[in-house]
Amino acid sequence: MARDGLEGPVLPRRAVLAGFCGLAGVLVCPDAVLAAVRATSVRLGSHDGFTRVVIDFASQVNFSLFTLPDPARVVVDMPEVAWQFQGNGVFGGGGLVSSLRYGLFQPGNSRLVFDLSRPATVKQAFVIPPTDGGPWRFVMDLEVTSIEAFLKASGPNNRMGTFQPAAPPPEQPEVAVKPPETPKQVASSGRKPVIVLDPGHGGVDPGAIGVTGIYEKNITLAAGKEFKAMLDRSGRYTVHMTRSTDMFIPLRERIAIARRHGADLFISLHADSNPSTAVKGLSVYTLSEKASDSEAAALADSENKVDIIAGMDLSHQSQDVTNILIDLAQRETMNLSSQMAEGMVVQLRREVTLLRQTHRFAGFAVLKAPDVPSVLIEMGYLSNPDEARQLQTREYRAKLGDSLTRSVDAYFNKVRKSGR
Ligand SMILES: [Zn+2]
């Protein structure tokens, strides 16, 4: 629905190749109020032996860039940009560029990611000052290179350009930090339970793209804000969100945010996609160590790719001792997570279409906090026309929010009764 402001039209490839300026139909972007640098159009051109990218800016812009393998990409970092392109997040490419994504990567740092159709090197990149009142122009030329040369030159350590992005937030050590209070302490202390809502995806990562052109990142953010308002109104909970704007947050940082708030419950919000437009229904996931269900494992894999998409390798090895401590905490946490998920299925069954075997198990990274009961809800399929349309309405999301609030109530009542 138009009033949600959620429509995310994909810029047609033809328009990009033809050098369409898009000023007439400019997308009204809330970032424009905050950011100094406005990007007004982007063009891709195939030339003899190279592909040229040109981006118009309303004022001077600083940049730095590097390449990443698997899949081959060029990542361009800039200060915060107000994107006023025709589309609002993703569109097709041309020449060596297969697609382009852009968005806020972290405060003060916007990012463009050019997906490459084959390994390429940045032959040159520079900014041209305006002539005759025209725009500032960022120009980048790409040419084909060998895989060996591409791998050798890739990585953020081979950054070219002068823009220095802030270091990403440090990861929280898994066990060195003081663990949050357990539900046991909630029951005895009488303090309000703390809930952290996690709208999936954001910024350069749009998540699934619906048949209606809607982006998952926008649905999850709208739902997250509305669910927070409903839980706040109950007066029974302290509710935080991992993000309340359209920005990218690494998966491990989402867990770290929950732990910093001392969360008693973490709820990650997503919407699904399937090659078959007929598949529909809501599902709820909790952590499975083995992710034995192969369908679930494939899904977990695609959600986990988020960190790779944004160009950050966040994998790390824990020591044996750390693993044992986490395992002990995790067993109790997994039981509580399952209780929450089962309760959600009971409440949601009354309101909406559910996927068969509604409560599923997978290895989603955001569910891996060892000491915070966590669930991930796939609110429906954006690949299904009915559910895509429903999820874009406030009324439908309110139904989900009602059910969620009731299941949160039931969960904490049960935890209190069992004296935890
Ligand atoms: Zn998702």
Residues in the chain with pLDDT values less than 50:
1-34, 88-89, 170-185, 291-299, 305-325
- Give SS3 for 410: helix
Q: Could you tell me if 271 and 338 lie in one domain?
A: yes
Q: Could you tell me if 200 and 255 lie in one domain?
A: yes
Q: What is the pLDDT of residue 304?
A: 54
CA of 200 to the centre of ligand 1 (A): 5
CA of 149 to the centre of ligand 1 (A): 34
Q: What is the largest CA-CA distance in the chain?
A: 74
CA of 202 to the centre of ligand 1 (A): 10
CA distance 305 to 352: 29
Q: Could you tell me if 219 and 95 lie in one domain?
A: no
CATH number of domain containing 32: 2.60.40.3500
Within a domain: residue 106?
yes
110, 126, 161 - which closes a domain: 161
CATH number of domain containing 195: 3.40.630.40
CA of 272 to the centre of ligand 1 (A): 6
Within a domain: residue 167?
no
Within a domain: residue 90?
yes
CA of 415 to the centre of ligand 1 (A): 29
CA of 100 to the centre of ligand 1 (A): 19
CA of 270 to the centre of ligand 1 (A): 4
Q: Is the predicted ipTM greater than 0.95, yes or no? A: yes
Q: Could you tell me if 245 and 298 lie in one domain?
A: yes
Contact in structure between 379 and 391 (CB atoms under 8 Å):
yes
**The token pair that represents 98 in the structure block:** 């297969």
Q: Could you tell me if 157 and 263 lie in one domain?
A: no
Within a domain: residue 220?
yes
DSSP per-residue codes, 193-232 = PEEEEEE--BTTB---B-TTS-BHHHHHHHHHHHHHHHHH
CA of 201 to the centre of ligand 1 (A): 6
How crowded is residue 312: how many other Cβ atoms within 10 Å of its Cβ?
18
DSSP per-residue codes, 90-131 = EEEEETTEEEEEEEEEETTEEEEEEEESS-EEEEEEEEEPPS
CA distance 194 to 257: 12
Q: What is the pLDDT of residue 83?
A: 81
The residue among 11, 193, 161 whose CA lies nearest residue 78 is 161
Range of the domain at 156: 2-161
